């Protein structure tokens, strides 16, 4: 007996139920479109559902890493800490799902495996792994920038006899590390956040470091009730500032000057003050940290001196000091006692740059110098960022063109929102938009609002089809690269450029000009009747 696959037919199909997909559902539904969301997990939350490793926490203040679309929501929700933990952010997103009755239009456990544009009827035909078939006029890929995990290409992983985990798919029930010898590979944000907690829980922790990263203290704390009250009172104004800022959050209340325009003493005093306050805004102390090599070196030297002060063993301190990239050109990490953790007796640091990992054995990690027996191996090895989740399904546009093929030499988009040849397909925070260089929630809201305005425009004008014109896309790609080339960003081997994934084309993916400038550009395109889009 054969069963007919389940079919759904909607105006808009949204893929992913994280911050982006949930807001897309809410916004488009409010505007009278029929919407369905397909989510591969069994709960809302996206990145905040999957990344539940010990220490997972946002590096942007909770007050701003949250939706602004509903005044009631932002007034009624209480954040407990300056930087929310993963469980608290997930609780917030579950609350949003319930409060706005989003679950009724979300299908959980549905992983999209293909999407084909049907030229004759200008509709998408989308299939999931379970056999569900969805037809939709429009598809919105709200699949996240950091949602396709990257396991390193180390031989023998399958031979390991102990437990093995990736930070981005940590077991729901947690992992009991008591009395165990734990190895951690990867020292990006995830590894740096996890290290202090793994060290507290395990009998012994060995951190395998290939490349050190710059990290500044988060100085997390419970949210001061008076400060929180003041933020709530000023929310409309603060959100407006965030929307037009460079980073998508409220910037430092100073007008930054070039680093070399003040004396060395003054410069270090300003770094010291930010180090004491904590957080990523360390990079905002001076105006040219990310564009001038000398300015950048002064910030990097300051952090390296701090590492020397904190870490007792000079050889370990030396290994922890980054020297291969400008600070901030790889995402700066924020931590709670990361460097201090290397003073513990039960923690060791192994440099796998000078003696690379050659294989994983049944017993543990084997480098070119030694074998390290382990009970548990944790990979914090990052993601196939920005394009990974967009290229995982087989997406075919007009005339059957494959997105994987089109982006073979790197992603090409217009505004990071859409790509030529793929009509009626939108991306939220796609490559070519500020995305990961911004407060993602601010950027997500702007994208979702822009997309829904565009769909309303099409509906109002009885138009069925939209896609970027090739020249507009070419010009945008060139512009994104030119802006990145004028900064120090493009020089780092970072996941911003795809350098962390062997064989991935090297293209600087996020748009560095800032959230405010980008919003102005998107608004101008909309005001000029969607200039650069071919509508029919």
Binding site for ligand NA7 (CB under 6 A): 146, 152, 154, 185-191, 208, 210-211, 331, 352, 357, 380-383, 495, 500
Sign of the four-CA dihedral 514, 516, 519, 523: negative
- Nearest approach in angstroms of CB 113 to ligand NA7 is 25
CB of 98 to ligand NA7, least distance (A): 27
The residue among 193 and 419 lying less far from ligand NA7, judged by its C-beta, is 193
Least distance in Å: CB of 28 to ligand NA7?
Answer: 27
Nearer to ligand NA7, 150 or 304 (CB): 150
Min dist CB 426 to ligand NA7, Å, is 23
Residues 6+ apart with CB under 8 A from 86: 48, 51, 52, 56, 57
Q: Find out whether 259 and 267 touch, Cβ atoms under 8 Å.
A: yes
Cα(308)–Cα(320) distance, integer angstroms: 9
Residue (44 or 146) nearer to ligand NA7, CB:
146
Note every long-range contact of 315-322, with CB atoms under 8 Å and residues 24 or more positions apart, other chains counting.
316/342, 316/349, 319/209, 319/212, 319/349, 319/351, 320/209, 320/212, 320/349, 321/212, 322/211, 322/212, 322/213, 322/214
Question: Tokens 């437990």 label which residue?
Answer: 163
Nearer to ligand NA7, 298 or 442 (CB): 442
**Pairing state between β 466-468 and 347-351:** unpaired
Nearest residue (CB) to ligand NA7, 44 versus 440: 440
Q: Is 213 left (phi over 0), alpha (psi -120 to 50) or beta?
A: beta
Nearer to ligand NA7, 446 or 500 (CB): 500
Pairing of strands 106-108, 133-141: unpaired
3-state secondary structure of 284: helix
Closest CB 151 distance from ligand NA7, rounded Å = 8
Q: Give the end-to-end CA distance of the chain in Å, rounded to a whole number.
A: 44
Q: Would you say 55 or 421 has its CB closer to ligand NA7?
A: 55
DSSP 39-64: ESSSSS-THHHH---TT-B-SS-TTT
How far apart (Å, rounded) are the C-alpha atoms in residues 433 and 428?
9
94 burial type by CB count under 10 A (0-12 exposed, 13-18 middle, 19+ buried): middle
Min dist CB 280 to ligand NA7, Å, is 10
Least Cβ distance, residue 187 to ligand NA7 (angstroms) = 4
Instruction: Show the beta-strand stretches assigned E in 142-214.
Output: 163-166, 181-185, 204-209
- What is the H or E stretch that residue 395 is in? strand 394-396
Residues 6 or more apart whose Cβ sits within 8 Å of residue 125: 115, 116, 117, 118, 133, 134, 135
Q: Smaller CB distance to ligand NA7: residue 14 or 380?
A: 380
Q: Which is nearer to ligand NA7, 85 or 424 (CB)?
A: 85
Q: Determine the Cα–Cα distance for residues 248 and 265; give it in Å rounded to an integer.
A: 31
CB of 522 to ligand NA7, least distance (A): 23
Residue 447 and residue 470 in contact, taking contact as beta carbons nearer than 8 Å: no
Residue with nearest beta carbon to ligand NA7: 188
Q: Least distance (Å) from ligand NA7 to the CB of residue 354?
A: 12
For ligand NA7, which is the closer residue by CB, 35 or 488? 488
Give least dist CB 154 to ligand NA7, A.
5
**Least distance to ligand NA7, CB of residue 194, Å:** 9
User: Which class for 3: exposed (0-12), middle (13-18), buried (19 or more C-beta within 10 A)?
Assistant: exposed
122/358 with CB nearer ligand NA7: 358
- The H or E element that residue 241 is part of is helix 225-243
Nearer to ligand NA7, 152 or 256 (CB): 152
Q: What does residue 449 show for φ and ψ, rounded to 5 degrees? A: -65, -40
DSSP conformational letter for 5: P
**Residue 205 beta carbon to ligand NA7: minimum distance, rounded to whole angstroms:** 15
């Amino acid at each position: 007996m054969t069963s007919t696959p389940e079919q759904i037919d909607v105006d808009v199909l949204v893929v992913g139920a994280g911050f982006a997909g949930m807001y897309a559902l809410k916004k488009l539904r409010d505007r009278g479109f029929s919407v369905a969301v397909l989510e591969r997990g069994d709960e809302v939350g996206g990145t905040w559902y999957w990344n539940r490793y010990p220490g997972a926490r946002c590096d942007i203040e909770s007050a701003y890493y949250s939706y602004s679309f509903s005044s009631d929501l932002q007034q009624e929700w209480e954040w407990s800490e300056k930087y929310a933990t993963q469980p608290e952010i997930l609780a917030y997103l579950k609350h949003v799902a319930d409060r706005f009755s989003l679950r009724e239009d979300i299908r959980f456990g549905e992983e999209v495996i293909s999407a084909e544009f049907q030229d004759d009827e200008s509709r998408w035909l989308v299939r999931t792994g379970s056999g569900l078939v969805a037809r939709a006029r429009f598809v919105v890929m709200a699949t996240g920038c950091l949602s396709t995990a990257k396991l390193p290409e180390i031989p023998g992983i399958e031979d390991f006899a102990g437990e093995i985990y990736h930070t981005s798919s940590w077991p729901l029930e947690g992992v009991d590390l008591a009395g165990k010898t734990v190895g951690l590979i990867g020292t990006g944000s995830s590894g740096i956040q996890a290290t202090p907690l793994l060290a507290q829980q395990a009998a012994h922790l060995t951190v395998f470091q290939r490349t050190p990263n710059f990290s500044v203290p988060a100085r997390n704390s419970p949210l001061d009730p008076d400060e929180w009250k003041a933020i709530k009172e000023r929310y409309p104004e603060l959100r407006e500032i965030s929307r037009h800022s460079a980073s998508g959050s409220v910037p430092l209340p100073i007008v930054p000057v070039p680093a070399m325009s003040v004396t060395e003493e003054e410069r270090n005093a300003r770094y010291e003050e930010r180090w004491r306050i904590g957080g990523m805004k360390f990079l905002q102390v001076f105006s040219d940290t990310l564009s001038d090599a000398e300015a950048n070196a002064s910030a990097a030297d300051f952090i390296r001196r701090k590492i020397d002060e904190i870490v007792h063993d000079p050889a370990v301190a030396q290994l922890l000091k980054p020297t291969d990239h400008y600070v901030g050109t790889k995402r700066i990490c924020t931590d709670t006692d990361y460097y201090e953790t290397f003073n513990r007796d039960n923690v060791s640091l192994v440099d796998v740059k000078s003696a690379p990992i050659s294989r994983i054995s049944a017993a543990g990690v084997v480098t070119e110098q030694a074998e390290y027996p382990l009970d548990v191996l944790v990979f914090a090895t990052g993601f196939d960022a920005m394009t990974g989740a967009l290229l995982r399904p087989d997406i075919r546009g007009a005339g059957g063109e494959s997105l994987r093929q089109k982006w073979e030499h790197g992603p090409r988009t217009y505004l990071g929102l859409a790509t030529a040849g793929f009509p009626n397909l939108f991306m939220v925070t796609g490559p070519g938009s500020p995305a990961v260089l911004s407060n993602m929630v601010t950027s997500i809201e702007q994208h979702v609002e822009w997309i829904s305005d565009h769909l309303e425009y099409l509906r109002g004008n009885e138009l069925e089809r939209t896609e970027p014109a090739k020249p507009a896309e070419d010009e945008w790609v060139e512009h994104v690269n030119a802006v990145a080339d004028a900064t120090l960003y493009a020089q780092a081997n970072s996941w911003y450029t795809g350098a962390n994934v062997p064989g991935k084309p090297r293209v600087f993916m996020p748009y560095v000009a800032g959230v405010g400038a980008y919003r102005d550009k998107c608004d101008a395109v909309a005001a000029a009747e969607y200039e650069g889009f071919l509508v029919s």
